[in-house]
């Protein structure tokens, strides 16, 4: 199998192409879009942006959606400690929150002394959504993403919070449309016929809210150095769990999601993540190869049995995953939102 001479992306990555030097188009795109970012300039504009929202007579200046993982915890730290924003931390409990994440949430919100809300939707409905997505599209994660987005906009409206600050990093977290799409129209198309609109209340919101509430990805303004983030959080939070765990250790079913992705695409999330870190100068290719030697994402994870029991799916259902695609449900139109992105009215790398 051919792989990029710079990162690790293999030839079965959607729409990949390699130049004469064997460098993939994702690496070339990185050079164009991200390499020249001047973070000193970006931080200045962040400072101006935060000044616009700080102490304007509202109870909270901004909201940070938190999972207990390191990215959102670091967002909380930057907003509260570095920029002295009055922050409301909001957690969406997807029913699979890990013990380590719960411990981190508790310690980071108390250490940083921020207000905190956690909301857990009806697990019966969540399960139905995960199951429907798995059986129809092969990916059970989108309902959780929709739940987080819906909850944050709902609370922003109720509490009149003008700004939502996310830890989504376009450099490491972006996926080709074939691999991941999580927009609201997709949720509605996939749920149709199985789950009622009433049951979808926690997962669907009035889209024009996106214009009324500003939403930014902090890694677009602040250099997102993973080791530095883990080190800083280690100093702030004296949590036993810590933040230096596996990717997405905040969700206990993340090994299952990764296993399914590997089954379907031939490569797991680690290959994508490490490739992004190599491009961004945070890891060498050799370090990535070394780490992948111990990767277990092609082995059946211990959580799979529980997962199948909880969602009431069979081994045959799991085997079918690789033939399924959410692209069969693309009866949605996100052109309007794309236009808003184009003119920077909403974030450029926003998940719809
Ligand atoms: Zn590459």
Tens digits of residue pLDDT in 178-197: 898 888 888 999 999 999 99
Q: Does a structural domain hold residue 285?
A: no
Residue 284 has what pLDDT? Answer: 97
Closest CA to 263 of 179, 141, 142, 146: 179
User: From ligand 1's centre to the CA of 195, what distance in Å?
Assistant: 40
* Alpha-carbon span 32 to 28, nearest angstrom: 7
In a domain, residue 124? The reply is: yes
Closest-CA residue to 151 (of 88, 195, 98, 101): 88
Q: Residue 281 has which token pair?
A: 């100068």
Ligand 1 center to residue 256 CA distance, Å? Answer: 26
Distance CA 248, CA 253 (A): 9
Mean pLDDT of 99-119: 94
Q: How far is the CA of 6 from the centre of ligand 1 (A)?
A: 5
What's 120's DSSP letter? Answer: -
User: Which residue range(s) make up the domain with 176?
Assistant: 38-252+337-342
Which tokens is 298 given? 């092609």
179 C-alpha to center of ligand 1: Å? 17
DSSP 313: -
For residue 166, which phi and psi values (nearest 5 degrees)?
-110, 160
Residue 212 in any domain: the answer is yes
Average the pLDDT over 272-292 and give the result.
95
119 CA distance to ligand 1 middle (Å): 39
Asked whether residue 213 carries a pLDDT value surpassing 90, the answer given is yes
218 Cα: distance to centroid of ligand 1 (angstroms):
25
- Which stretch of 93-97, 180-184, 252-256 has the lowest confidence by average pLDDT? 180-184
Find the 243 Cα to ligand 1 centroid distance in Å: 27
Tokens of 307: 């997962």
CA of 293 to the centre of ligand 1 (A): 19
The percentage of residues in the chain with a pLDDT greater than 70, rounded to a whole number, is: 91
Ligand 1 centroid vs 337 CA: distance in angstroms?
29
Question: 25: CA distance to ligand 1 center in Å?
Answer: 7
Number of structural domains, the chain?
1
The answer to whether position 331 is within a domain reads no
Query: Cα of 181 to ligand 1 centre, how many Å?
Result: 22
Q: What spacing in Å lies between the alpha carbon of 146 and ligand 1's midpoint?
A: 30
Selection from 151, 218, 210 nearest residue 344 by Cα = 210
45 within domain boundaries: yes
Q: Is residue 112 part of a domain?
A: yes
Judged against a pLDDT cut of 90, whether residue 3 lies above it is answered with yes
* 89 within a domain of the structure (yes/no): yes
CA 154/CA 152 separation, integer angstroms: 5
Contact 155, 88 (CB under 8 A): yes
Q: What is the mean pLDDT of residues 273-279?
A: 97
Judge whether 259 lies within some domain: no
Look at 9-13, 14-18, 226-230, 239-243 and tell me which has the smallest mean pLDDT.
239-243
Burial 313-350, CB ≥16 within 10 A → b, else e: beeebbeebeebbbeebeeeebeebeebbeeeebbeeb
Q: What is the CATH number of the domain that holds 50?
A: 3.40.50.620
- Among the listed residues 234, 131, 119, 252, the one whose alpha carbon sits nearest the alpha carbon of residue 191: 131
- Read off the pTM: 0.91
Quick: pLDDT tens for 218-249.
999 999 999 999 999 988 876 555 666 666 67
**Residue among 167, 170, 149, 172 at smallest CA distance from 218:** 167
Ligand 1: centre distance to CA 23 (Å): 5
């Amino acid at each position: 199998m051919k792989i990029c001479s710079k990162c690790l992306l293999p030839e079965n990555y959607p729409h990949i192409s390699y130049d004469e030097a064997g460098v993939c188009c994702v690496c070339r795109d990185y050079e164009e879009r991200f390499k020249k970012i001047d973070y000193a300039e970006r931080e200045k504009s962040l400072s101006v942006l935060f000044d616009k929202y700080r102490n304007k007579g509202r109870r909270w200046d901004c909201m940070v959606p938190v999972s207990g993982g390191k990215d959102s915890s670091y967002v909380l730290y930057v907003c509260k400690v570095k920029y002295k924003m009055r922050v409301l931390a909001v957690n969406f409990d997807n029913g699979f929150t890990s013990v380590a994440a719960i411990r981190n949430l508790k310690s980071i919100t108390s250490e940083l002394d921020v207000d905190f809300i956690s909301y857990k939707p009806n697990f019966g409905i969540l399960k139905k959504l995960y199951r429907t997505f798995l059986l129809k599209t092969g990916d059970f994660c989108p309902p959780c993403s929709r739940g987080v987005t819906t909850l944050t906009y709902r609370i922003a409206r109720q509490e009149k919070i003008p700004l939502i600050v996310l830890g989504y990093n376009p450099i490491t977290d972006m996926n080709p449309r074939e691999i991941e799409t999580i927009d609201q129209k997709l949720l509605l198309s996939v749920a149709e016929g199985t789950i009622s609109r009433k049951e979808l209340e926690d997962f669907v919101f009035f889209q024009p809210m996106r214009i009324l509430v500003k939403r930014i990805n902090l890694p677009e303004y602040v250099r997102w150095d993973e080791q530095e983030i883990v080190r800083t959080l280690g100093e702030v939070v004296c949590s036993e769990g810590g933040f230096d765990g596996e990717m997405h250790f905040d969700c206990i079913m993340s090994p299952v999601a990764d296993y399914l992705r590997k089954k379907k695409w031939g490569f797991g999330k680690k290959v994508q993540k490490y490739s992004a870190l190599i491009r961004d100068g945070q890891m060498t290719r050799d370090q990535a190869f070394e780490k992948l030697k111990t990767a277990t994402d092609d082995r059946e994870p211990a959580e799979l049995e529980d997962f199948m029991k909880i969602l009431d799916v069979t081994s045959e259902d799991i085997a079918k995953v690789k033939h399924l695609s959410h692209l069969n449900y693309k009866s949605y139109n996100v052109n309007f939102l794309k236009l808003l992105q184009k003119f920077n009215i909403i974030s450029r790398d926003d998940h719809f």
